[in-house]
Amino acid sequence: MRFAHAIYEAGLNAQYECSSGIGNSSVDFKIINVPGWLVELTSFRISAAVKEHTVTKGNISEYLSITGDNSNAPEVRDIIKSQEAICRKVSDSCNFKEKGNPIKFPEIKENSYHMLLIDMRSFNAGMSDLYDYWNIAYGSTSLINYNHGIYCRNWCTPDGKTSLIKGLFDDLHPDNRSQYIRDKIHVLGFVHEKHYAEQELINNIYFLYNPKFFKSKMDIIKIFPCAKNELLHLCANLNGKPNS
């Protein structure tokens, strides 16, 4: 309902639970202005990683995200969990090794664009920022030379090997379902509401764009109904580093 109200506030017209023409699947919203948008919403519950690092004493809960060697911090585990949740929205496979069949989003058509909007309130005990979203979408390889790489995140395997997290828009992402993200999704939107105030949702979405479809911000502004001047600081900077 919050996103439906945001669509109304933006002066857009939309259909709810609209058939996408892919089997029996549907998307949450079809914005029927020109250009049109298919928008699917997703969120994930508090992860086991966060629960493991939360200690409750009486009415007070304390969250500690520090881990030892050869283990992954809750933030890192939640990045991977977020990627899995996103991939489940575009494929009927529950196994990252299997690409599966596409759901929700049809093949790209002229004047029709696709967005996945992710509710991040449960991410890492309620703590998330642009750099978490950047890791999910583009991966740490795009942050190596940004601010000395302090926002890079490594995934540690049980045998102690580590590698930089790869983003869903990266052709080398290990989840085979992510191919549908790269081929069919124009925008990944991330939102973390805190106060549920008027205009809060639409003004606090971080829009991270698929580099396969966009080469400059002007390309985005032409077709994206929410890419107004006051929101451009939330957009991904397509020259290779995020704007905060």
Selection from 186, 160, 182, 163 nearest residue 91 by Cα: 182
What pTM was computed for the model? 0.81
Which of 3-17, 58-72, 82-96, 194-208 has the lowest average pLDDT? Answer: 58-72
Query: Cβ(38)–Cβ(18) under 8 Å?
Result: yes
Confidence of residue 38 (pLDDT cuts 50, 70, 90): very high
Query: Could you give the 3-state DSSP secondary structure of residue 77?
Result: helix
- Joined together, the tokens standing for residue 89 give 């929205």
For 142, phi and psi rounded to 5 degrees?
-85, -5
Residue-averaged pLDDT of the chain: 78
Note the pLDDT tens digit of each residue in 111-166.
889 999 998 888 887 778 888 999 999 999 888 888 888 999 999 987 888 999 99
Note the pLDDT tens digit of each residue in 58-93.
555 443 555 555 578 888 999 999 999 999 999 999
> Mean pLDDT, to the nearest integer, of 187-211?
75
* DSSP-assigned letter for residue 185: -
Confidence of residue 48 (pLDDT cuts 50, 70, 90): very low
- Joined together, the tokens standing for residue 135 give 């890791």
Could you tell me the end-to-end alpha-carbon distance of the chain, in angstroms, rounded to an integer?
28
Predicted confidence at residue 241, as pLDDT, reads 54
Selection from 94, 2, 93 nearest residue 41 by Cα: 2
CA distance 79 to 136: 6
Asked if pLDDT for residue 9 goes beyond 80, the answer is no
Asked if pLDDT for residue 34 goes beyond 80, the answer is no
Q: Which residues contact 114 (CB under 8 A, 6 or more apart)?
A: 37, 38, 39, 105, 108, 184, 185, 186, 187
**221 vs 28 pLDDT, higher one:** 28
What count of Cα atoms within 13 Å lies in the side-chain half-sphere of residue 148?
1
Handedness of CA 22, 26, 32, 34 (dihedral sign): negative
- Joined together, the tokens standing for residue 208 give 């991270």
> Mean pLDDT, to the nearest integer, of 26-50?
76
Handedness of CA 227, 230, 231, 236 (dihedral sign): positive
